Amino acid sequence: MSAEPRADAALDLDQPRDVAERFSAGGWVFDSGVASVFDDHVRASVPFYDAIQGLIAECCDWLTPQGSLVADLGCSTGNTALAILARHPERELRFALYDESVPMLARARPAVEALASGRVQSYPGALQDGQHHLGASLTVAAFVLQFLGWGDRQLVLTDAHSRAAHDGALIVAEKIRPADARWAEIGTDVSHDYKQAAGITDSAIRAKSRALRGVLRASSLPELVDLVESGGWCSPELLFRWHQWVVLGAYASPPR
């Protein structure tokens, strides 16, 4: 005898699905659907996301003098620029916003313009196709290199270094791949615990993992450091780490 259908089965069909459940295996893209929910999604998905943005903004106390330029490579919806502007409203900082996703950039530009009117340029397109700013005091690549091909990461960082101010700095935030499988297992599970505590369901966590197959390709920390140095950046320093999530800082030139 077949089982009786659950009384709430029809209701289940009406429940909103997590954005990740829209995608097939390896199908993740930053389209308009992702852009519309990105701010909530990223805060539930990336541990200490706001703390990382706060760390970047705090570093600007030292790194971005009056009127200087911040180049945000892969700006998403502009959260890094907004955090910097909230901390330094008086410095009249300028921003070059880059993103391959037009829907993400369409959200970032007006949000940043609202706080930095007339001091914002935005550039849609693939980062590896070239950058357009010059003389950046700070270059930020927050959770973007991990979505690029290995060779493209090198191109982006080398190009960014060539466009940085002599005393400019780089801050990279990335999800990394621990070299030891034992730490990788712990990092994966605690990240899932974090997401679940933020309200993401088990099925949505699994769907996101499936959608990112071959799309997000994490490097190890030594590989990331080597990538930064090979791009011409100096004195790489680990500024933050929580399991698989890191923030790395470097300078455009050696110490005097």
**Contact partners, residue 95, CB within 8 Å, separation at least 6:** 69, 70, 71, 72, 81, 112, 116, 119, 120, 121
Residue 17 belongs to some domain of the structure: no
Residue 256 belongs to some domain of the structure: no
**Contact partners, residue 145, CB within 8 Å, separation at least 6:** 153, 156, 157, 172, 174, 219, 224, 227
Task: Give the separation between CA 249 and CA 227, rounded to whole angstroms.
Answer: 12
User: The domain that contains 90 carries what CATH number?
Assistant: 3.40.50.150
CB atoms within 10 A of CB 128: 16
**Contact partners, residue 197, CB within 8 Å, separation at least 6:** none
Task: Give the separation between CA 68 and CA 62, rounded to whole angstroms.
Answer: 12
Residue 18 pLDDT: 87
Indicate if the pLDDT at residue 13 is higher than 60: no
Residue 209 belongs to some domain of the structure: yes
Residue 2 belongs to some domain of the structure: no
Convert the pLDDT of each residue in 198-252 to its tens digit: 999 999 999 999 999 999 999 999 999 999 999 999 999 999 999 999 999 999 9
Residue 256 pLDDT: 85
**Amino acid sitting at position 222:** P
Domains held by the chain: number:
1
Residue 11 belongs to some domain of the structure: no
Tokens of 220: 């190890």
Residue 35 DSSP label: H
Question: Strands of 120-124's sheet, edge to edge?
Answer: 120-124, 94-99, 69-73, 136-142, 164-175, 245-251, 234-242
Tokens of 226: 């080597």
Burial code of 188-218, b = ≥16 C-beta within 10 A, e = fewer? eeebeebbeeeebeeebbebbebbbeeeeeb
Convert the pLDDT of each residue in 18-63 to its tens digit: 899 999 999 999 999 999 999 999 999 999 999 999 999 999 999 9
**Contact partners, residue 5, CB within 8 Å, separation at least 6:** none
What residues does 69 pair with on adjacent strands? 94
Helix and strand counts by DSSP (H, E) for the chain: 9, 7
Residue 4 belongs to some domain of the structure: no
The radius of gyration of the chain's CA atoms, rounded to the nearest angstrom, is 19
Range of the domain at 214: 25-251
Residue 49 belongs to some domain of the structure: yes
Indicate if the pLDDT at residue 146 is higher than 60: yes
Q: Which long-range contacts (CB under 8 A, 24 or more apart) does 77-80 make?
A: 77/35, 77/38, 77/39, 77/104, 77/107, 77/108, 77/111, 78/107, 78/108, 78/109, 78/111, 78/112, 79/39, 79/42, 79/53, 80/53, 80/56, 80/140, 80/142
Q: What is the pTM of this model?
A: 0.92
Residue 31 belongs to some domain of the structure: yes
Task: Give the separation between CA 231 and CA 226, rounded to whole angstroms.
Answer: 8
- Reported as a pLDDT band with limits 50, 70 and 90, residue 1 is very low
